[in-house]
Amino acid sequence: MEDAIRFSVFVSVSLIVFVAILYFVTHGRAQRPSLVTVLLVATFVVVGGMAFGKYGNNAGLPWWIYYTAPALATLVVPPAVFKFRGRELGQYLVLAFLSSPAIHVAFSFLLGWHEYMPFIPVPSLRSLLQ
């Protein structure tokens, strides 16, 4: 049960961060994307990607499959759907790729939850204070 709760929290925080990234990147447009479109893309990329990664790992798939497929979705789907160009694409790529490690560091350091990206070792605040 604790694993399911942690996974739900990881997904929820990641979804909120990703939606914020999409809105930030498109903030200069005269016609901003609709909330429905943003939520559908974010749900596909974040929820779909994290579910695929979790179940791919649990099913014993090689890491390069369950990390690469969601990474490709992150690289391809939003730029294609929102037609990012130039500055938008650059901002999106930087923020999208920095957000996952940043979320991992925050959860690892503050809560001691290391399973988000276990290959990046981050000590918890609790372990440092002991």
**What integer pLDDT is reported at residue 66 of this predicted model?**
85
**For position 83, what pLDDT does the model report?**
97
- The whole-number pLDDT of residue 113 equals 87
116 neighbors 105 (Cβ within 8 angstroms): no
Look at the block and give the residue holding tokens 């890491």.
63
Query: For tokens 């957000």, what's the residue?
Result: 99
Please report where in the chains the tokens 């991992």 appear, as a residue: 104
Please tell me the predicted confidence (pLDDT) of residue 44: 98
pLDDT, one tens digit for every residue, the chain (130 residues): 688 899 999 999 999 999 999 999 999 999 999 999 999 999 999 999 999 988 988 899 888 888 899 999 999 999 999 999 999 999 999 999 999 889 988 988 888 887 767 677 888 888 888 8
What is the pTM assigned to this prediction?
Answer: 0.89
- Cα–Cα distance for residue pair 84/90, rounded to 1 Å: 9
**Domain range spanning residue 82?**
2-129
Give the total number of structural domains in the chain: 1
Give 118's Cβ-side CA count (13 Å radius): 5
The whole-angstrom separation of Cα 99 and Cα 83 is 21
Residues 126, 114 contacting (CB under 8 angstroms):
no
